[in-house]
């Protein structure tokens, strides 16, 4: 079956074998940090230094990690797919970008970071967004205001609206294949995308994960195993 409009949702599981912690697995990020402290606007207002430190460490780690066979399989498939391929990632790392290796991607390809990006900063006053590779803290002057205490990581925290939701809705309504990779299905609205696709009736839905997710019963098809094993094989056979 040739699919034309494909949507791929990725979560932390796709980057696990590149050495990046997931959130809810044993030893995951939320085992060592309180969400309230490091991933909410209230936590940032209470202790900005703690939040900056948390994201500075994660941003620095990006210099040490590389895309794995799963990221590369998606990027390679994108080069040959003639329809649309929309990668919606919950991940804030840049491994999908690194996997394209700076190649121009086909017109039908798009990558949407619905939870933001570690390599970007945002001005609290103007909402302007800047590429950011370095550390930041409350004393770091904002590039647009040149004032301290104006920068925050460009990350969507709990209680905040994810990014690109209109565009995501458009692609979910139109897709004929929805593939969910490496996500536990605990966090909405991403965990509800499979239901959205099924409610339009068009799309075939596939879950590829290490283990059944919260919403596993909603998928037409399920494939379990490590992403670097399952994903290259899946795209070769697609």
116 phi-psi bin (left φ>0, alpha ψ -120 to 50, beta other): left
User: Taking the complex as a whole, how short is the minimal distance between the CB of residue 44 and ligand APR, in angstroms?
Assistant: 15
First CA to last CA distance, the chain = 8
Q: Please answer whether residues 43 and 153 qualify as being in contact, where contact means their C-beta atoms are separated by less than 8 angstroms.
A: no
Q: Are 118 and 155 in contact (CB under 8 A)?
A: yes
Nearer to ligand APR, 202 or 228 (CB): 228
Is the CA virtual torsion 227, 230, 232, 238 positive or negative?
A: negative
Cβ distance to ligand APR smaller for residue 25 or 176 = 25
Specify the DSSP class assigned to residue 27: T
Q: Which is nearer to ligand APR, 5 or 120 (CB)?
A: 120
Identity of the residue, 105 or 210, whose beta carbon is nearer to ligand APR in the bound complex: 210
Q: How far is the CB of 122 from ligand APR (least distance, A)?
A: 16
8 A C-beta contact, residue 143 and residue 119: no
Active centre residues (catalytic): 115
Name the closest residue to ligand APR (Cβ): 13
Q: How far is the CB of 228 from ligand APR (least distance, A)?
A: 7
Contact indicator for 140, 53 with CB cutoff of 8 Å: no
CA dist., res. 23 & res. 32, Å (int): 10
Q: Which residues bind ligand APR (CB under 6 A)?
A: 11-13, 16-17, 22-25, 28, 90, 115, 182-184, 186-187, 209-211, 213, 226-227
User: Count of CB atoms within 10 A of residue 82's CB?
Assistant: 9
Q: How far apart are CA 219 and CA 208, in angstroms?
A: 10
Q: How far is the CB of 89 from ligand APR (least distance, A)?
A: 8
CB of 41 to ligand APR, least distance (A): 14
Q: For the chain, count helices (H), then strands (E).
A: 9, 9
Q: Which is nearer to ligand APR, 47 or 160 (CB)?
A: 160
């Amino acid at each position: 079956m040739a699919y034309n409009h494909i949507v791929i949702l990725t979560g932390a599981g796709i980057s696990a074998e590149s050495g990046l912690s997931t959130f809810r697995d044993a030893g995951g990020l939320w085992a060592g940090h309180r969400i309230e402290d490091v991933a909410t606007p209230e936590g940032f207002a209470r202790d900005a230094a703690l939040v900056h430190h948390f994201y500075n460490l994660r941003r620095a780690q990006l210099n040490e990690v590389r895309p794995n066979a799963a990221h590369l399989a998606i990027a390679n498939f994108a080069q040959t797919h003639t329809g649309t391929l929309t990668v919606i990632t919950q991940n804030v790392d840049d491994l999908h970008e690194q996997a394209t290796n700076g190649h121009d991607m086909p017109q039908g390809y798009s990558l949407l970071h619905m939870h933001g990006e570690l390599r970007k900063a945002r001005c609290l006053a103007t909402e302007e967004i800047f590429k950011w590779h370095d550390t930041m803290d409350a004393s770091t002057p904002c590039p647009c205001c040149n004032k301290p205490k104006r920068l925050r990581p460009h990350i969507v925290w709990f209680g905040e609206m994810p990014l690109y939701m209109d565009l995501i809705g458009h692609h979910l309504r139109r897709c004929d294949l929805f593939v969910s990779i490496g996500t536990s299905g605990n966090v909405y609205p991403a965990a509800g995308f499979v239901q959205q696709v099924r409610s339009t009736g068009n799309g075939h839905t596939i879950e590829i994960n290490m283990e059944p997710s919260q919403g596993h019963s909603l998928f037409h098809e399920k494939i379990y195993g490590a992403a670097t094993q399952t994903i290259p094989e899946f795209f070769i056979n697609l």
